Amino acid sequence: MRQIRCSLTAGALTLVLGTPALAQGGDPEQGGAAFLLFPVGGRAAALGQAAMADGGSSEAAFWNPAGLALMERGEVAAHHAQTFVSNNTALSVFFASPRIGAFGVSAYLVDFGSQGVRPPDGPVTGEFSPKNIELLASYGTHLTGSLAFGLNYKLIQFRQDCSGDCGIFPTQVGTTHGVDLGLQYGFGADSPFRIGVAIKHVGFKLQIENSDQADPLPTRLQFGMSYRVEFPPPTPGAQPLDARILLDLQHRWHDLDKADARVGLELGYGKLVRLRTGYAFLEGETRGPSVGLGVRIGRVAVDFSRIFFVSSNFDEPVYISLRADL
């Protein structure tokens, strides 16, 4: 347990967490529930967070739910990330049908750890534990042979649990609801080019104390494309070789003139091995490159990635995903 003076704790957590309880009426650039902007999954994180035109796994529920329509079979998945402010875990169960599409549920926990509360020149009086929770129900299907549609409904909650005397950090809970809507278009079954668009985190404000201090969700409009090139296998009977490049542009809903760019590159030896890298051109100190590796053995796939920040002020996050076909 880290023991932090109350005055320092409020400022530090407001800066790095952006949570409503600690920053009511805070930065409109982030809005409430800023954790929704954290990457989820080792696959997309390795590709510079460029995932609007990606799909085929349950990870698409956290990026563009239209990508769920590309799932060939059901899947269970677990994603974990260790970042400089939190430990993040997501669990998903999805079912897929060629006739009706893919549907499933996910649970996502962002745990900021426990903080000791100690007034100036006094003993520890309590401990508070802030965390965010997101529950998703997702569906993706093909509207036509080339056009895919996806939808997320999500329950979003901020919790701050207190034990003992937490002073200015009492137990607080705020809950709201939101949706994501996404489309992807593939230009035909054999086309190497695919585009995607999604509007994400649309919903009611997240209220902790009162309506005057409620924070809007960080609504985003995001566009993306992917282009895939196939190469002849090196020897007869070997796995095919391919390369993909992905590019995304993400806009804040209230300011469409500003966009964050993301680019990713993937090299693959069939479904067996996938090498990935990317760069997230974000504002602030968390922009930077990423690398990752995906390996599939039979019905089980593992994706690993690491993001490297241009700033040395933060520990660089590591992401790992484990997926198994049903």
**DSSP string computed for 132-166:** EEEEEEEEEEESSSSEEEEEEEEEEEEEEEEEE--
Per DSSP, helices labelled H in the chain are 6-17, 42-46
Lowest mean pLDDT among 108-122, 182-196, 240-254: 108-122
Instruction: Say what percent of the chain tops pLDDT 70.
Output: 89
Residue-level pLDDT at 211: 56
* Residue 10, both tokens: 């409020």
| CA Rg value for the chain | 21
- C-alpha–C-alpha distance, residues 289 and 39, integer Å: 14
Which band of pLDDT confidence, cut at 50, 70 and 90, is reported for residue 13?
very low
Lowest mean pLDDT among 92-96, 240-244, 250-254: 250-254
Residue-level pLDDT at 124: 84
Q: Is 67 helix (H, G, I), strand (E, B) or coil?
A: helix
* Residue 296 β-bridge partners: 301
Residue-level pLDDT at 26: 37
Identity of residue 164: G
* Residue 277 β-bridge partners: 265, 291
Asked whether the whole model's pTM tops 0.85, one would answer yes
* Residue 193, both tokens: 């080019």
Residue-level pLDDT at 212: 61
Residue-level pLDDT at 17: 37
- C-alpha–C-alpha distance, residues 58 and 67, integer Å: 8
Question: Quick count: other Cβ atoms within 10 Å of Cβ 288?
Answer: 17
- C-alpha–C-alpha distance, residues 307 and 262, integer Å: 13
